[in-house]
Amino acid sequence: MATSGSLPPPPAEPEPWSEKDFTPITVFLRHQIGITLESHRMGLLQARLRSRLQAKSYRSFTQFHEQVLRVDPNGWGAQLLIDLSTVNHTSFFREPAHFTFMTERVATWLKESPSQPVRIWSAGCSSGQEPYSMAMVLLELLGPTVAQKVEIWASDLSLEMLKAAAGAIYTTRDVQGISPPRLRRFFLLGRGPREGSFRVVPEIRDMVRFRHIDLRNPVWPVPGDLPMIFCRNVSIYFSDEERLTLLHRLTQQLRPGGWLVMGNGEILPEVPANLRKHSPSLFQKEG
Ligand SMILES: C[S@@+](CC[C@H](N)C(=O)[O-])C[C@H]1O[C@@H](n2cnc3c(N)ncnc32)[C@H](O)[C@@H]1O
């Protein structure tokens, strides 16, 4: 049936930078990247993304979605979303009892098998404070022979965090909980334009091997048969199902009797049958 009169107006474009304009990005995040954010964190992501995109002269979230995410779903746009949507809070010697526990275990293992190097993995290392804290306590324990006896592997999903971690430059605020003797021994004071900053000394930096790893990916380029893995405050990003899969895979990555260290505040309703809970954050693989 023919209709008379003018064509209906095309559907209105969503208002730039509005909730509706952001919808395709929410869908991309969920389906392509596997991140579902709570509404307050989604609001924060929107604000951060808007300011980054405006600085690059984008005019709307839709434009970014059409011209960047759809064209290359694994490119810089996706990485920017990952960097902006993950919470990277960390600190030196966070949850200090874990570092005491690690030091005691390493001392025992090296006494039992002095020629076998101990490998420890900091999975979800953020800007590096966790693996560098490990390196500091182990250097204190083992002295200059530490490099032959210990390997520290550290990984994160966020390239921005890994870049910060490898740079190892921290602010006064970042180092404020560190004791003066450790500060003197393990940090170099910035000079000139770097005045007021602290850089981890090369001796400690060289002990850590950084890798870019998404823990949801099927392959993890780190050694297996590990005696200890720290995966603290990372599983908060995972659904219950993903968290259980993660725990199974981390357990597989451990040697029998190896230890998994999680964050003190993490709620783990379920753990694999071959993982024994010693405290809310310490788990040991059977065997
Ligand atoms: C809150 S920080 C914890 C840092 C450190 N483990 C600690 O407890 O101080 C969480 C880190 O996990 C990383 N992360 C989130 N999802 C991840 C994933 N799927 N794979 C690897 N790292 C992830 C984030 O980029 C962030 O740097």
Contacts of 110 (CB under 8 A, 6+ apart): 118, 142, 149
CA-proximal residue: ligand 1, atom 27 (nearest): 126
CB proximity list for 50: less than 8 A, separation 6 or greater: 17, 61
Q: Are 105 and 138 within 8 A, CB to CB? A: no
Name the residue with the closest Cα to ligand 1, atom 2: 88
For residue 197, give both structure tokens. Answer: 């900053």
For residue 181, the CA-to-ligand 1 centroid distance in Å is 29
Q: What is the pLDDT of residue 5?
A: 63
The model's pTM: 0.85
Residue 173 identity (one-letter amino acid)? R
Taking 50 as the pLDDT cut, the residues of the chain under it are 1-3
* pLDDT value of position 237: 74
* Rounded-to-integer distance, Cα 212 and Cα 194, Å: 27
Cross-strand partners of 185: none
- 79: exposed, middle or buried (C-beta count within 10 Å: 0-12, 13-18, 19+)? middle
Distance CA 255, CA 38 (A): 36
Which of 88, 125, 156 is the pocket-test mutation for ligand 1 (most atoms within 8 Å of CB)?
A: 156
**Which SS3 state, helix, strand or coil, does residue 154 take?**
strand
* Residue-range domains of the chain with CATH: 19-85 (1.10.155), 97-285 (3.40.50.150)
Alpha-carbon torsion 55, 57, 59, 62, what sign?
Answer: negative
Which numbered atom of ligand 1 lies nearest the CA of 216? 19
**CA-nearest residue, atom 11 of ligand 1:** 124
Probe ligand 1: pick from 90, 217, 234, 260, max atoms within 8 Å of CB? 234
Alpha helices in 153-236 (DSSP H): 159-167, 180-186, 202-205
Question: Tell me, what's the pLDDT at 240?
Answer: 84
Protein residues with CB under 6 Å of any ligand 1 atom? 86-90, 94, 124-126, 130, 156-158, 161, 213-216, 232-234, 237, 263
